[in-house]
Structure 1
Amino acid sequence: MAARHDHTTDPRLQEELLQARRGTAFFARKLNELTDAELDGGTRLPDWSRRHVVAHVGYNARAIARLVEWAATGVETPMYPSPEARNQEINFGATLSPIALRNLFDHSAVHLSVEWRDLPDANWASEVRTAQGRIVPASETVWMRTREVWIHAVDLDNGASFHDVPVPVLERLLADITTAWHTRGTDAGLLITVTDTAKNGVTFGDTSAADPTIISGPLAAVVEWAAGRGGSGVTATGPGGSPEEIPAPPNWI
């Protein structure tokens, strides 16, 4: 018989699930504020309409649910057959009628939440493979979804900003992004400094650079820049301490 509450008893995981569901609710609110005609409007992502963003977020929930099913059953169920299939799915979803597109988001979000809810404690450690080929425990799916819904709620360009994203999510996003840069070696000579919250004065990026380009600003603005969503609210200081034009960040994903 299906449970009415999450099976997991891990307090940290319970908190992460709550953050993911809050992000889903926030995305739903920004989506529901849009009229059907406004779904055709542009977003903060090049070449993607709001339809593309909603389709992506909906199909992403289904893809992550497949990973949770993999953890539950032990039967390999990849997120997508291929990158091409993922892109085709999003492009198809963007052509759906407004009611079908909204239903895709709603139903896929509920499906994923139920898969999480019913996953036994022991199975959260089961390893699955992401679309990028990373082997991660099933517990990582919660963070994968959290960053999708919070960031793409902003991408809808309907009044949401990175200042609406909870500080713990912003902090983890910045750590994720700068770690990806470091792994690829694309952060050479680039130092990021946060000027507010508990991360005040904490630096990320190439901390060994003798005379780096420094990007600084409040946490929300720094994450917005690092995620490739604009440079409002941050400043750039070049070698020798001279002001610089804000550079584009290295690719994250």
Structure 2
Amino acid sequence: MKIAVCVSHVPDTASKIYIGSDGKSIDQTGLTYVVNPYDEFAIEEALKTKEKFGGETVAISLGTDANKETLRKALAMGIDNAVLLKDDKYRDSLSVAKALADEIKAQGAELVFFGKQSVDFDNSVVGQLTAELLGYNCVSVVVSFSLDGNKITCEREIEGGKEFIETSLPAVITAQKGLNEPRYASLKGIMAAKKKVIIEKPALQSENFVEVIAMKRPPTKQAGRIIGTDVSAVPELVKILHEEAKVI
């Protein structure tokens, strides 16, 4: 069985983000990039599935040479092979999905893992779009996964509860925190990853349907107001909440 895992190269969530001079992109100065946190759960589940059922794993990433750092991390964790789809232009989610679907089809992967979202754009749709383009079944926000032959059983998070789903291969699974505990790369794995060749291919080109018009920082929070220190302030507080804040 061929198992693919799609990984994003994203700014570290601890980084201070500034808007670039064009007003619609991120200033790259001093930014540290890492493997998308949700994709680590996807990598781990791909590895666990291979360890249980055998087969071959491949990590796929779309971007520039900088993405090789994230692919090396996947290789160090235990992924067998890595493919970099090279492109340095802005892409919307559908354009990303088309390029990934094209490579997944070429790889002949029956089972594909994604993180539920990337922490840079937070659109949460690339996995689902890729599944639709491939004609694969799809289960998103998965916190429990099992495979028995061709049958897949998943537990996923929904608003106010959990949902249990059965489907079959071929399938795309998007991983949520709680699905597993991602392993640390061993020294042996890190050294082996340095020797592995990352296959580079030009990414499939397609039209963007979404354009970033502008980026803006959230407005600065206004200073708080102290209405009073005892119950006598309650009527004034209620009046302000009703007339100014308009929340009651």
Q: What TM-score bracket applies, with the shorter chain setting the length?
A: under 0.3
Give the TM-score of the pair, scaled to structure 1.
0.25
Q: Larger relative CO (CA 8 A, sep 6+): 1 or 2?
A: 2
Which of the two has greater strand per residue?
2
